């Protein structure tokens, strides 16, 4: 008997991937040689790239899950939600094919905009009137982390694969802030 698989399972698997990649990165750095100035010489970039890819897989899956859950919650609670919000909540849009028929298509939305939409829909589902404050540190880290991810996943030059310690810190801050924001309005955190 097949059990129904859920986005919860997806996020748990991707979360464990993040934890494993982070642990591997820390282990390689800890095993590195420390010079007289306290700088660590370690071949860590492979592990850093893996961590960044894992974090973005997790963020994208979580974003989708938050959107879908928030749209469902709005509909269950009688909170007004537009048809367009419902479609974007499941990455769906409509277009015309060559015969002039309306067909369903996968919505192509930039990650930053998709996250902002997920956060807005999450607030709507929890009846939180104030909008997301994009001046917070994690949001600026996230926008920079997206550029880092894009550079790593679409490299043009060898230096596009370089990952600095500062890059790693920005990506980790982005992940932590994203998680905190997504969980901010859950009933277990409201107490």
| Weakly modelled stretches of the chain, pLDDT under 50 | 1, 188-191
Full 3-state SS string of 125-191: HCCCCCCCCCCCHHHHHHHHHHHHHHHHHCCCCHHHHCCCHHHHHHHHHHHHHHHHHHHCCCHHHHC
Tell me the C-alpha distance between 22 and 172, whole Å: 9
Local structure of 103: helix, strand or coil: strand
Q: Where do runs of H (alpha helix) occur along 78-136?
A: 83-89, 111-125
Query: How far is residue 104's CA from residue 87's CA, in Å, rounded to a whole number?
Result: 10
Length of the chain, please? Answer: 191
Tell me the whole-structure pTM to 2 decimals.
Answer: 0.88
The structure tokens listed for 68 are 């879908």
C-alpha to C-alpha distance for 79 and 71, rounded to whole angstroms: 9
Give the DSSP letter of residue 117.
Answer: H
State the DSSP H helix or E strand holding residue 92, giving kind and residue range, or none if neither.
Answer: strand 92-96
CA distances from 48 to 28, 100, 138, 148 (A): 10, 47, 19, 11
Q: Return the closest-CA partner of residue 171 out of 63, 85, 56, 14.
A: 56
User: What is the reported pLDDT for 191?
Assistant: 39
pLDDT of residue 62: 95
Q: Which residues pair with 33 in a beta bridge?
A: 41
Q: What residues does each domain of the chain span? A: 7-184
């Amino acid at each position: 008997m097949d059990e129904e698989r859920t986005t919860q399972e997806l996020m748990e698997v991707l979360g464990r991937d993040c934890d494993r990649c982070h642990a591997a990165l820390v282990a390689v750095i800890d095993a590195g040689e420390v010079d007289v100035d306290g700088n660590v010489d370690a071949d860590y970039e492979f592990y850093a790239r893996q961590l960044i890819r894992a974090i973005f897989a997790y963020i994208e899956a979580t974003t989708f899950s938050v959107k879908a859950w928030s749209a469902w919650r709005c509909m269950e609670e009688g909170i007004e939600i537009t048809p367009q919000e419902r479609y974007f909540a499941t990455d769906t849009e409509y277009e015309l094919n060559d015969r002039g028929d309306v067909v369903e298509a996968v919505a192509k939305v930039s990650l930053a905009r998709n996250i902002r939409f997920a956060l807005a829909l999450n607030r709507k589902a929890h009846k939180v009137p104030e909008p997301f404050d994009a001046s917070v540190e994690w949001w600026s880290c996230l926008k920079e982390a997206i550029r880092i991810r894009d550079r790593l996943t679409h490299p043009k030059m060898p230096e596009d694969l370089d990952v600095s310690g500062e890059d790693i810190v920005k990506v980790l801050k982005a992940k932590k802030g994203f998680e905190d924001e997504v969980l901010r309005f859950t009933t277990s955190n409201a107490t």
